[in-house]
Amino acid sequence: MTVYLVGAGPGDPELLTLRGAALLRGADVVIHDRLIAHELLTWAPPGAEVIDVGKTPGLPRRQHDINELLVAHGKTGRQVVRLKGGDPFVFGRGGEEALALRAAGVEYQVVPGVSAAFAAPAAAGIPVTHRGMSTSVTVVTGHTGDPSAPGGVNWDALGRAGGTLVVLMGMGERATIAAELVGSGRLGTTPVAVVYWGTTDRQRVVRTTLDSLANVDFPAPSTIVIGPVAALDV
């Protein structure tokens, strides 16, 4: 059988793809993240083994351990669904899991999902591109650190690039992110929208500016949209 790396979508269970839903309904094992819509787990067949591998703050789970778990279950001959929030390959570490499965000789398929990077702004009435306002969009992790490290975020370049910036996993570093962007050229008055639990019935939206972003105190999962389009409400 095959391990399926399935994108669970941005939060609303109805945004799971038809392919993902079909695989989930036929799963023998479901290995899921913490922030998926947990209603999806009821779609698995009775008797399916359901395993929570969510990286809970204070109770870290190493990615290496998750990879080993996928390989072990993938070798049992059962249908394994790895249910990942959003899209598996957009800051979901799906690439690492796919490489681990390949190295172990375990067959796998990637089932794309709807990423919160685009769905959360859309649900809040914010088009990430809009004629006359933004013809580009950049999606970036909010984990700040050494920008010269492999895969590091060059905030200076992002500050000068213009267009729409969508930041995932950035609330913990929002003050630093705002300061970096303003310091590299973006105006402090640049519109910002923060979308909490986008696409779900828990969704909340705050519109602010880079100068005031630090005052917004939403927890995860929140999506930060930076640029002129963040002022739109279509």
**Catalytic residue annotation:** 33, 55, 169
**Residue 106, pLDDT above cutoff 70:** yes
For the segment 42-98, what is each residue's pLDDT rounded down to a tens digit? 999 999 999 999 876 666 678 999 999 999 999 999 999 999 999 999 999 999 999
The 10s digit of each residue's pLDDT in 209-226 is: 999 999 999 988 999 999
- H or E segment to which residue 100 belongs: helix 94-103
Helices (H), the chain: 18-25, 63-74, 94-103, 116-123, 155-161, 174-183
Helices 63-74 and 94-103, axial angle in degrees (round to 10): 50
- Better-scored residue on pLDDT, 9 or 57: 9
**pLDDT per residue as tens digits for the range 124-178:** 999 999 999 999 999 999 976 666 667 788 999 999 988 999 999 999 999 999 9
**3-111 under CATH 3.40.1010.10, yes or no:** yes
| Reported pTM | 0.92
Query: Would you identify the CATH topology of the domain 116-231?
Result: 3.30.950
User: Any idea where the domains of the chain sit in the sequence?
Assistant: 3-111, 116-231
Output the six-digit token pair for 160: 């000068």
